[in-house]
């Protein structure tokens, strides 16, 4: 433990907690710890929660979404507790202003936790730095390490492997100039349920059983991504399962397909499905179609690099 202090109680740090979209997701071989190895491209997008962190004697949390827990089961609360135990600092008051839907596969809880870690580190007398924060984040959840780094100087596009702790920055061969239309059916999906159902219904692929998606992004590890090639092989192992189980997700996916996106897929274990467009007007037309069908919709752009 590195004993240090936070700044005085009048200080407050504001952080943006960016949502992520999975540009493909492969569930690979089982691990000895009972989890599975993953292979995915994570992209930070411009939908975000706002996280306020203020030094305090104890940890407390307030949230604009009354349906979410505000105690130790909330990942943001856990992040504050882990940082306190790691550094010997006091607690903090956390205020979450939510925009990212919960249970949507967009990593909102992980993004909030990462924002708390970054905020506390900005207030610390001896900051740990982003790399160590990402290591702490791995103790909280699989998406947290990316959320610590995504949208910072490390860039907003990363290949994610293992349980989410192995990250490599990716660059686009052509700077991204597209729009994501995120469609969030109001039927949250439990990640634990999705993994259990996937394990029950099919044989998990081994790392040696590579698909065109896995082969393509594996060849681009740490280098450049060709968007046109990636769009043509996008796949998410959870999507058939979720669409079979939740017709509301399958209908959203079909409505998106009817708008002729460059590509479409599902983020995480759902329930968000998305379309990718290279024209803002086309994205807005798709938004209108899905809004008319009474789906919650967000139009976003990639977040590539911002100051931490």
Task: Give the Å distances, CA to CA, from 235 to 30, 39, 217.
Answer: 19, 11, 12
Which residues fall within 8 angstroms of residue 38, CB to CB, at 6 or more apart?
25, 26, 27, 28, 142, 160, 161, 162, 163, 164
* The pLDDT value given to residue 206: 47
Per-residue pLDDT of the chain (308 residues; tens, 9 = 90+): 555 667 655 589 999 999 999 999 998 876 666 667 899 999 999 999 999 999 999 999 999 999 999 999 999 999 999 999 999 999 999 999 999 999 999 999 999 999 999 999 999 999 999 999 999 999 999 999 999 998 666 679 999 998 888 999 999 999 889 999 999 999 999 988 888 888 787 655 444 457 999 999 989 887 899 999 999 999 999 999 999 999 999 999 999 999 999 999 999 999 999 999 999 999 999 999 999 999 999 999 999 754 44
User: pTM for this structure?
Assistant: 0.92
DSSP one-letter string for 89-140: --EEEEEEE--SPTTSSS-HHHHHHHHHHHHHHHHBSS---HHHHHHHHHTT
Just list the catalytic residues. Answer: 20, 143
Rounded Cα distance, 105 and 211, in Å: 22
Domains present along the chain, CATH in parentheses: 13-172 (3.30.230.10), 179-300 (3.30.70.890)
Q: How confident is the model at residue 151, as a pLDDT? A: 65
| Angstrom distances, CA of residue 224 to CA of 159, 169, 175, 227, 302 | 11, 9, 10, 9, 16
Query: Across-strand partners of 171?
Result: 224
- Please give the full DSSP string across 131-198, using - where no structure is assigned: HHHHHHHHTT-TTHHHHHHTTSTT-SEEEEEETTTEEEE-EESS----EEEEE--SS---HHHHHHHH
Q: Computed over its alpha carbons, how large is the radius of gyration of the chain?
A: 19
Distance of CA 104 to the CA centre of its chain: 10
Given CA atoms 301, 241, 208, 231 in this order, what sign does their dihedral have? negative
Cα 206 → chain centroid = 24
Report the candidate in 230, 255, 231, 260 with the shortest Cα–Cα distance to residue 243: 255
* pLDDT at position 207: 41
**End-to-end Cα distance, the chain:** 24
Distance CA 144, CA 135 (A): 9
- For residue 86, what are the CA distances in angstroms to 80, 154, 187? 10, 23, 37
Q: Cβ atoms within 10 A of the Cβ of 254, count? A: 12
Task: Quote the tokens at residue 272.
Answer: 């968000």
Element at 253 (helix H, strand E): helix 247-257
Read off the tokens for 214: 């896995």
CA distance 136 to 282: 41
The per-residue pLDDT for 222 is: 75
């Amino acid at each position: 433990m590195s004993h240090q202090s936070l700044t005085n109680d009048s200080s407050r740090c504001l952080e943006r907690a960016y949502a992520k979209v999975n540009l493909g997701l492969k569930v690979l071989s089982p691990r000895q710890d009972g989890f599975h190895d993953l292979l995915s491209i994570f992209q930070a997008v411009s939908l975000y929660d706002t996280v306020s962190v203020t030094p305090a004697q104890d940890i407390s949390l307030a949230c604009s979404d009354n349906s979410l827990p505000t105690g130790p089961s909330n990942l943001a609360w856990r992040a504050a507790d882990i940082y306190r135990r790691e550094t010997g600092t006091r607690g903090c008051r956390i205020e979450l202003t939510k925009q990212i839907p919960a249970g949507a596969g967009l990593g909102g809880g992980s993004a909030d936790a990462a924002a708390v870690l970054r905020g506390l580190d900005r207030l610390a007398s001896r900051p740990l730095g982003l790399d160590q924060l990402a290591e702490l984040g791995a103790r909280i959840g699989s998406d947290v390490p990316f959320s610590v780094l995504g949208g910072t100087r490390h860039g907003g596009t990363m290949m994610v492997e293992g349980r989410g702790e192995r990250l490599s920055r990716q660059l686009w061969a052509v700077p991204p100039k597209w729009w994501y239309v995120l469609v969030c059916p109001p039927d949250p999906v439990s990640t634990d349920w999705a993994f259990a159902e996937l394990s029950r219904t099919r044989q998990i692929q081994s790392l040696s059983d590579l698909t065109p998606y896995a082969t393509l992004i594996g060849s681009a590890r740490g280098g450049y991504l060709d968007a046109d090639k990636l769009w043509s092989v996008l796949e998410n192992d959870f999507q058939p399962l979720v669409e079979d189980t939740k017709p509301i997700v399958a209908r959203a996916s079909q409505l998106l397909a009817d708008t002729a996106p460059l590509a479409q897929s599902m983020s995480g274990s759902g329930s968000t499905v998305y379309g990718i467009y290279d024209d803002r007007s086309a994205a807005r037309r798709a938004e209108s179609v899905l809004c008319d069908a009474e789906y919650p919709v967000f139009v976003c752009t990639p977040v590539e690099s911002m100051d931490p």
